[in-house]
Structure 1
Amino acid sequence: MTHTIAKPLPLTTSQHAMWLLHTISGRGELFNVAECMVFRGKVAATTLQHAFNHVWQASDTLSCRFPHDADYTPALQPTHNTPIIEIIQLEHDIEHVTDYAQQFMAPKLCQPFDLSSQPLMQLQLLRGESQDYLMILAHHLLLDGYGFGLFSQALSRSYNALIKNKALPNLRFSDQQTLLDAQQQATYLTTVDSARQTLNQWLDDIGEIHSFSDSKADVTTANKRTSQQFTRAQWQTIQSAASSINSSSSEILLAAIATALIAKTQHYHATLGLLMMNRQSMAELSAPCVQSNVLPLPLNLTPDMTLHDITVLVNHQIKALKQLQSYRVESLKRDRQKQGKSLTVFGPTINLLPFSSNPKYAGIETHSHILSAGTTDDIMLQIHLLGDTPANIDFDVNEARYQPDQVNTIQAQVFDIAIRWANQPTLALSELVKCLIQEPKHVF
């Protein structure tokens, strides 16, 4: 359908890439994101709605739709019609929040947003006996992982101001035009072009890229998720090993994932996909809209490497990749096609989710559960780094490529490798791989 566009604003490169994925795929529901915010008490529903109104109207990248003209050129069109938070009364508190929230949101995650005609966010406040739960569904165009953080912090600030009868805060979100201007500066464009050249050179040097599955089946349904958390004793062992080799726990986990991939493929060059925040300027850091990117993290490993050697390499490669994060993965895939190369530019995708404080609402503590961070056409490992609390890893997979027993095996091996290497950090990579190949498959 063609829509008349009044005072249109162009899309950023990141927004346009997401709009294209939604439009061309015909499966817009695959780009929904969802979160459950658990309140450790009862909130004032009317005040929460007023706070949401303020946040919504403070950002044209939130309160917008994305109509297109007859040539299918999209635009961002602000609208100040704030969605109404639906109130749902529960008979009692929820016992298993994550399971309940996943089941509650599943039907909503299967419904695509109409980008051109409806607000791209829905909220339901579930009211339990002693605590409440806010279910948030949005299109990825409005929010990415970092954007969810900006949104939740702004919502709590506004709520707290209203409760204290103070003036509503100036939220200082970047508007769309400021974001566009920042990304059209000569220095920014030079950085993007340099990143394009470097990333393509990296991929030219790699050759074939492998993942845990050889299948190329397209996504047909929302990702299937399984989760596993380290025990406290295991996590303390990993933290101790990280300290002893002057590394970090997240780098040990990346080393474990790369090792599991080597054991599966028998190729010592592992190229992971790493989710990047892709925010460097103040304009980008203040905009909740989609900006994140995923790019190849090539790890050229050798059989004699120890855990320390690999974590040093991981650290070096991540630092190098941070300088290249402004070049879109969609553009990189197009580059590879033009050069006659495979469209596959990385294997498993890794999303490192650092520990962050959860905002309080008039003294009421909150805890957030990420229910869906979008889709992956292969496998994505979302690593929740929770401070001293043992890390949890979500394994999100394209069910068309992975059977449940395959996912269980991958999950078991990643955990097993991380623990083994934490206990024996001087073990050579080849020795660890040999042990994995010789031992029978098991479920952790």
Structure 2
Amino acid sequence: MWSAQQLDPDSPALWTAEAVELEGPLDEAALEAAIRETLQACDALHMRYEGEGADVVQRLRESRSVVIGREDYAGCDQPWDSAWRWMREDLLRPADLARRPLFATALIRLGAQRHLWYLRAHHIALDGFAYLLLIHRVAELYSARTGGRAAAAARDWSLAPLVAEEARYRASPESARSREFWLQRCADRAEPVTLGPKCAPDDSARSSRLQLPAGEHQRWHHAARAIGVDWSAWLIAAVFAWMRARSGSDAISLGLLVMNRLGSAALGVPCMGMNVVPLRLRLQPQWSFAELARAVAAELRELRPHQRYNYEWLRQDLGLGDSHAQLYGPVLNLMPFDRGFVFDGLRSRAHPVSVGSVEDLDLTVSPLADGVRFDIEANPQAYDAATLDAHHRALVATMRAALADSSLRLDQLHSALAREAA
């Protein structure tokens, strides 16, 4: 994230944001107190980053000020649209990792009993799981305050144990083995296949959002078990099949986001704990979808022991650190963790506002209680709205075809989707 920001130091492209919608009789003072306490406790939000020679140094600011902005659109004809425009404009603020705060937050009033809690943070500070940890803690503190009870003890959200853990890993034989593994896997530095022209990322992304019906995730589970894989391998196979059908290429490389928190000091700490690993396959046209899914599962088993080796280290190893060059095309983010949280007395729901910079395509799949969030974010320099929507529809069609018949060959699937698009 540091390297990406230095390519354009003032660029706002690496801001991320979520908004939590709250419906009901809100105790605004209790919510503000919960937000302030939670955000003050998070080390990652109060860091400053500076270059010193060839190194990057992070320092924790002693002052942990949390300013909660206020916006009121209750009197507007379309309060939701007005709030959304404000949030998108807020995301255009320049970033400064050395001198300015890494986050901003606001309470937005949409009506007498409808509010949004908005949180913007630089991607160097938080990943998607970190947002969820913060939201859960705010909900917990709010519910305790409004219910007149004591909240659970404060979490230790210090980054020091994570820094020490990473230093031990970097010096370990495990790290050296993983470095060699990735250097061998990526030795050819093949240009990744994409569905649009290769362009530098823009300051914002183009979105195509979709919510699949409740029960869809369970259908994926059943289909995956029937062919001997888990649902993530099944879904990744569908993305590979879609990429082949849309690009006409058999050599596909995806970027797979991995959390790397289990067994780590980062498990309960809001921070940037994600990594991205290149997942590369050469597909065979005669493969059935089931065979593709099993090939994906086998590749995942190969990669798993080495997914802790940071993608940016690999880019530096390969001499790509000062460029936008990537080792994969679309990025896939599977979010299987529970995104439910409870603000007592209120109905609540999180809305993604920005995932940050998008090089090509970012696919996000998040099973929820009432369906599956299934979004694609695109580099707007490479994909117009109509093209992006067409790709999204084709991906859904690919998944439906795989659900209907896992014995379908990839060349048959390609032809079927081509006929559907004609």
TM-score, with length taken from structure 1: 0.84
Q: Does 1:271 align with 2:257?
A: no
Q: Within 5 Å, which residues of 2 pair with 1:378-389?
A: 378-387=360-369, 389=370
Partner of 1:36 in structure 2?
19
Partner of 1:414 in structure 2?
395
How far, CA to CA, are the matches of 1:283 and 1:202 in structure 2?
Answer: 29
State the AA in 2 paired with 1:394.
D
Q: Does 1:123 align with 2:122?
A: no
Partner of 1:375 in structure 2?
357
CA change 1:24–1:205 in 2 (3 A) is closer
Which of 313, 327, 348 in structure 2 is aligned with 1:366? 348
Partner of 1:299 in structure 2?
281
Partner of 2:308 in structure 1?
326
Q: Within 5 Å, which residues of 2 pair with 1:202-351?
A: 202-204=185-187, 207-213=190-196, 215-231=197-213, 238=220, 240-337=222-319, 343-351=325-333
Gaps of 5+ in 2: none
State the AA in 2 paired with 1:52.
I
Shift of 1:34: 0.5
Partner of 1:108 in structure 2?
90
Partner of 1:394 in structure 2?
375
How far, CA to CA, are the matches of 1:68 and 1:205 in structure 2?
Answer: 31
CA change 1:135–1:59 in 2 (3 A) is closer
Q: Residues 305-324 of structure 1, C-alpha deviation per residue, up to 9 Å, x if partnerless?
A: 22222222223323433322
Shift of 1:395: 1.4
How far, CA to CA, are the matches of 2:303 and 2:255 in structure 1?
Answer: 11
Partner of 1:403 in structure 2?
384
- Secondary structure of 1:274 counterpart: strand
Which of 410, 413, 423 in structure 1 is aligned with 2:404? 423
Partner of 1:199 in structure 2?
182
Q: Within 5 Å, which residues of 2 pair with 1:128-207?
A: 128-185=111-168, 189-204=172-187, 207=190
Q: Residues 397-427 of structure 1, C-alpha deviation per residue, up to 9 Å, x if partnerless?
A: 1122223333222112111111112112211
Bigger CA drift: 232-241 or 324-333? 232-241
Q: Residues 39-88 of structure 1, C-alpha deviation per residue, up to 9 Å, x if partnerless?
A: 13232222222222322332322233335568884322223332222233
CA change 1:430–1:101 in 2 (3 A) is farther
CA change 1:70–1:210 in 2 (3 A) is closer
State the AA in 2 paired with 1:112.
P
How far, CA to CA, are the matches of 1:71 and 1:187 in structure 2?
Answer: 17
Q: Within 5 Å, which residues of 2 pair with 1:88-103?
A: 88-91=71-74, 102-103=84-85
CA change 1:68–1:421 in 2 (3 A) is closer
Q: Does 1:83 align with 2:66?
A: yes
How far, CA to CA, are the matches of 2:222 and 2:274 in structure 1?
Answer: 32
Q: Residues 250-287 of structure 1, C-alpha deviation per residue, up to 9 Å, x if partnerless?
A: 43332222112112333323211111113244422132
CA change 1:43–1:401 in 2 (3 A) is same
Equivalent residues, number: 420
State the AA in 2 paired with 1:441.
A
Shift of 1:145: 0.6
Shift of 1:369: 1.0
State the AA in 1 paired with 2:175.
V
Shift of 1:295: 1.2
**CA RMSD, Structure 1 to Structure 2 (Å):** 3.0
CA change 1:280–1:243 in 2 (3 A) is closer
- Secondary structure of 1:61 counterpart: helix
Contact 1:336–1:343 (Cα < 8 Å) also in 2: no
- Secondary structure of 2:254 counterpart: strand
CA change 1:45–1:421 in 2 (3 A) is same
- Secondary structure of 1:74 counterpart: strand
State the AA in 1 paired with 2:103.
M
Bigger CA drift: 192-201 or 319-328? 319-328
How far, CA to CA, are the matches of 1:71 and 1:54 in structure 2?
Answer: 36
CA change 1:382–1:26 in 2 (3 A) is same
Q: Residues 341-388 of structure 1, C-alpha deviation per residue, up to 9 Å, x if partnerless?
A: x9431111111122514221234242101111111211111122225x
Shift of 1:299: 2.6
How far, CA to CA, are the matches of 1:361 and 1:267 in structure 2?
Answer: 48
Partner of 1:4 in structure 2?
none
How far, CA to CA, are the matches of 2:193 and 2:339 in structure 1?
Answer: 36
